[in-house]
Amino acid sequence: MYRSWADFYQSDAQSVYGLWIVPAWFLLYWLLSRPRGAGVEPRATRFMNVYAPLFTIESIIDPYATGPLLRRFGIEGDAATYCMVPFVLLGDFRVFWLLFEVTAPEGGVLRAMLRAARWTLIVPIVAFGMLRGLEARYGALPSASIWILYELGFVAIALVLDFVVLPARFDLRQYEVQQYARTLVRYVALYYALWATADLLIVRRGADWAWALRVIPNQLYYAFWVPFAYLTFFSPRYSANRRSTQRSR
């Protein structure tokens, strides 16, 4: 029995094994009955059928590698945080890689990867710079401050993508591709906003129930991202056939 929401959140039941359920079912679904069709962007269909299993497996490895595996080797404190950083960056990279591959498949996978890598570095660089500036002005800050700045930074960059970058990239013939891409960044903005809200409540108010709130973005990030991106990609709402029908009207 858990004495608090914080105890539950920090348990392996929530932070590891509870995050495996949806990815495991999705991987089975992908193997046995994945959708047939071109999806929102036919040129990215093959990419999506590699991306989905690759990052489903990664989402299963991540919470175990950054939790029980680190503890098994006695890695704790700052050393554990440093070990987590590559997984954090990879979690953001997967978003940008999918986004740029779907919106510009003619550029090729390598170009999308390089562009995604550049965008992945924006938030950590800005968040670290802001942290140093705030510490210079106000002195030592709570250890969670870097994560709050990171989370708020990603909400900001998702909004810039949603309302500035993506609308400028497409004409009306690519409306469904644009809407799919904007749906992805709104999904990401949601889980980062929930993380930031929960962390602010924990740091500023000491609200134990905010640890329960933190469970939601954990599930959205680890468990549901790949199924959401994959099934939405093949949704009839965004299908290439639908675009062809609309253009013929």
Q: Centre a 10 Å sphere on the Cβ of residue 13 and count the other Cβ atoms it contains.
A: 12
CA 158/CA 71 separation, integer angstroms? 33
pLDDT computed for residue 173 by the predictor = 63
pLDDT computed for residue 240 by the predictor = 58
Block mean pLDDT (10 aa), the chain, length 249: 94 97 96 84 93 97 96 88 92 97 91 97 97 95 94 97 89 82 97 98 96 98 98 84 46
Kindly list the structural domains of the chain, giving each domain's residue range(s) and its CATH number in brackets, ordered by start: 9-32+39-236 (1.20.1070)
Q: What are phi and psi of 79, to 5 degrees?
A: -65, -40
CA 236/CA 95 separation, integer angstroms? 22
Two structure tokens written together for 218:
């954990």
pLDDT computed for residue 77 by the predictor = 84
- Segments in 139-235 forming alpha helices (H): 145-160, 166-169, 175-205, 209-218, 225-233
Q: What are phi and psi of 73, to 5 degrees?
A: -95, 5
pLDDT computed for residue 211 by the predictor = 98
CA 166/CA 133 separation, integer angstroms? 31
**Helix H or strand E encompassing 75:** none
Please enumerate in sequence order all residues whose Cβ is within 8 A of that of 181, keeping only pairs 6 or more positions apart, or say none. 99, 102, 103, 161, 166
pLDDT computed for residue 247 by the predictor = 43
pLDDT computed for residue 244 by the predictor = 46
pLDDT computed for residue 248 by the predictor = 38
Is the C-alpha dihedral spanning 245, 246, 248, 249 positive or negative?
A: positive
With beta carbons less than 8 A apart as the criterion, state whether 104 and 128 touch.
no
pLDDT computed for residue 241 by the predictor = 54
pLDDT computed for residue 246 by the predictor = 45
Question: pTM of the predicted model, to two decimals?
Answer: 0.92
pLDDT computed for residue 106 by the predictor = 86
